Amino acid sequence: MKRLFMPTMGPADWRRWLADPEKQWEPGKSAMEMAVCWESARRTARGLPPEVADLFDSAPETRDALLLLGLVEHKVHFKGGGHPSQNDLWALLRNANGLISLSVEAKAGEPFDDYVAQWLPKAGERSGKRERLQDLREWLGLDDAELSQIRYQLLHRAASALKEADRFGAQYAVFFVQSFNHDADRQSWDDFRRFGQVLEVELAEGRLTKAGMATKVPLLLGWVTSKPADLERLTAAT
């Protein structure tokens, strides 16, 4: 587990942490768009892009939150071995209610990973996938839920926010999807709403809503749409 990190100097510093920089780092794709979006807000009072600040202000639990630190491509490990959950951005925030653990998944037309029904059968005899899935169920309070048609990526991203909330002593966990291509992400929105139903929450774009499942700390879910980088944001980000 890494414990020491260097601050970024601009969007280009995000590139080297990507799983596949050659394929992922292109204008219009979520990795570059997210880097520009968040770097453009680094000098603001709250450290959040305006639409993200509005998202946090939509719920009393997270209103007026400000960014304390953000870790790009932050890896969170779960039981069962295998690859860790590599969060596009994990962040620690604070407001009058205490600390908030945040996991962000960025999209710009890229689909979520396999459904659980596709992911699980790929396990070999020695695979720890069933142990890993059970660990995710426990973090999310989904012991008896039917998950076969839920995107596996959504499970471990949301669980990442909860696990890091436990590690840092945060009072709330937040997981939201940040879309940079509204039309191309319609399928992902449908997948996300289905995930919300399993967690007993009715999702709405631009709003954080608390999940109904019993988790160690309250979990809030949301979806925000951001505009692709324009000259103003590119200038502010560099």
DSSP string, 22-60: HHH-STTSHHHHHHHHHHTTTTSSS-S-HHHHHHHHTST
Q: Name the band, by pLDDT with cuts 50, 70 and 90, for residue 123.
A: low
**Quick check: 173 and 219 in contact, CB under 8 A?**
yes
- Give the chain's radius of gyration (CA, Å): 17
Please identify which residue in the block is written with the tokens 């603001």.
44
Average pLDDT over residues 164-191: 97
Q: First and final CA of the chain: distance in angstroms?
A: 30
**What distance lies between CA 115 and its chain's CA centroid?**
17
**Quick check: 160 and 90 in contact, CB under 8 A?**
yes
Average pLDDT over residues 223-232: 91
Least confident of 55-69, 87-101, 182-196, 224-238: 224-238
Report the DSSP pairing between strands 209-210 and 172-179: unpaired
pTM over 0.85: yes
Residue 42 φ/ψ, nearest 5 degrees: -65, -25
Give which of 154, 90, 80, 91 is closest to 124, Cα–Cα: 80
pLDDT for the residue numbered 235: 86
* Tens of pLDDT, residues 47-64: 999 999 999 999 999 999
For the chain, the average pLDDT equals 94
Q: Name the band, by pLDDT with cuts 50, 70 and 90, for residue 125.
A: low
Please identify which residue in the block is written with the tokens 């002593």.
169
3-state secondary structure of 132: helix
* Tens of pLDDT, residues 107-116: 999 999 999 9
Q: Is the pLDDT at 124 greater than 80, yes or no?
A: no
Burial 52-68 (b: 16+ CB within 10 A, else e): bbebbbbbebbeebebe
Which neighbouring-strand residues pair with 69?
A: 92
The domain segmentation of the chain, as residue ranges, is 22-237
**Quick check: 180 and 143 in contact, CB under 8 A?**
no
Instruction: Tell me what percent of the residues of the chain surpass a pLDDT of 90.
Output: 81
Q: Name the band, by pLDDT with cuts 50, 70 and 90, for residue 178.
A: very high
pLDDT: is 99 or 231 the higher one? 99
* Tens of pLDDT, residues 72-102: 999 999 999 888 999 999 999 999 999 999 9
Give which of 45, 98, 233 is closest to 53, Cα–Cα: 45
* Tens of pLDDT, residues 127-168: 899 999 999 999 999 999 999 999 999 999 999 999 999 999
* Tens of pLDDT, residues 29-39: 999 999 999 99
